[in-house]
Amino acid sequence: MEALERHERQEMAHHHGQGKKDHAEEHHGGGHTKRIAVLIMVLAALLALCEVGAKSSQNAYLAKHIEASNLWAFFQAKTIRMTVMRTAAEDMEVRPKESAELQAAIDRKIKKFLDTAIRYDDEPETGEGRKQLAARAKAAEEARDLSHAKLHMFEYGSAAYQLAIVLASAAVITGIMALAWVGGVLGGVGAIFAALGAFAPTFLHL
């Protein structure tokens, strides 16, 4: 009888100890899950910000691309007009001389054509001379290229964040903490690309 009671006490002690162990493991696993959940939330927030930066850069790129195209088209139109004015002046210059009164009128017309051609080439007052248009178009192209570089950096950052979220989510399901660590590293890579997109988009292009 005493042996039976001793055996029952041992069984109860064993089950009690096992229950504590299981509870500790469950609590420990739950702590990891909470930390991974926080990591996923942070990554998701950073991904959202990165996507906003990418969209903004894309819009700026398209706007500057259109602006540069329009300015170069205006430049070409000014070039054609300037060429027409100069050609007309040269044509009138090579014609036979007329009477003094008629020649004076022709000379005035020639001067007007040449002055107009000069204005088409350089008009700093309005900023619409060929020289000014070329400078504005080049500035728009530089801004366009900068926005394009930003877009690439933000896209790389977004891709890194997305992969990080996938790996961290897999860590919750599988319980493999190595996946969460790799996700964290990828999140850091995404942060680097996002920072480059915001502050030094051409750094990797040097």
Q: What is the pLDDT of residues 10-20, one digit of tens each?
A: 555 455 445 44
Q: How many residues does the chain have?
A: 206
Confidence class of residue 26 from pLDDT cuts 50, 70 and 90? very low
* pLDDT at residue 98 is higher than 80: no
Say how many domains are in the chain: 1
pTM of the model: 0.77
Q: Is the pLDDT of residue 29 over 70?
A: no
Question: Left (φ > 0), alpha (ψ -120 to 50) or beta: where does 127 sit?
Answer: left
Q: How many CB atoms are closer than 10 A to CB 56?
A: 14
Q: Which domain holds residue 115?
A: 2-205
Question: Percent of the chain having pLDDT more than 70?
Answer: 84
Answer yes or no: are the C-beta atoms of 167 and 179 closer than 8 Å: yes
The tokens 């990554």 sit on which residue? 43
Interacting residues of 72 by C-beta distance below 8 A, sequence separation 6+: 133, 137
pLDDT for residue 171: 95
Q: Give just the sign of the alpha carbon dihedral 70, 199, 165, 40.
A: negative
Quote the DSSP letter at residue 124. T
The four Cα atoms 116, 118, 124, 127 give a dihedral, to 10 degrees, of: 60
